[in-house]
Amino acid sequence: MHPSEARVPIARALIGLAAFLAFVLSVVLYFSGDETAGIFVGLWVPSILALGAFLAPRRLGMRSPAGGRER
């Protein structure tokens, strides 16, 4: 296993944790009366997950990000 491959599960866990914490903060803000801030923070969740999908490499049969096969 390549050393960078060992860090992928850690990176995915951190991205998932950040998204979960943003979700919890959003719910707390929304129901504590600051609805606008809750909605704003709630929009962070898909952004954090998209960033994680962009940054964390996946090993799916050596496929490139464009969907083609690497040579």
Chain segment 20-65, per-residue pLDDT in tens: 999 999 999 999 999 999 999 999 999 999 998 888 766 544 455 5
Positive or negative: CA dihedral 15, 23, 50, 63? positive
Instruction: Answer yes or no: is 10 within a domain.
Output: yes
Does residue 69 form part of some domain? no
Q: pTM for the whole thing?
A: 0.70
| pLDDT (0 to 100) of residue 32 | 96
Residue 65 lies in a domain: no
User: Across-strand partners of 69?
Assistant: 63
Give me the domain span that covers residue 24: 3-55
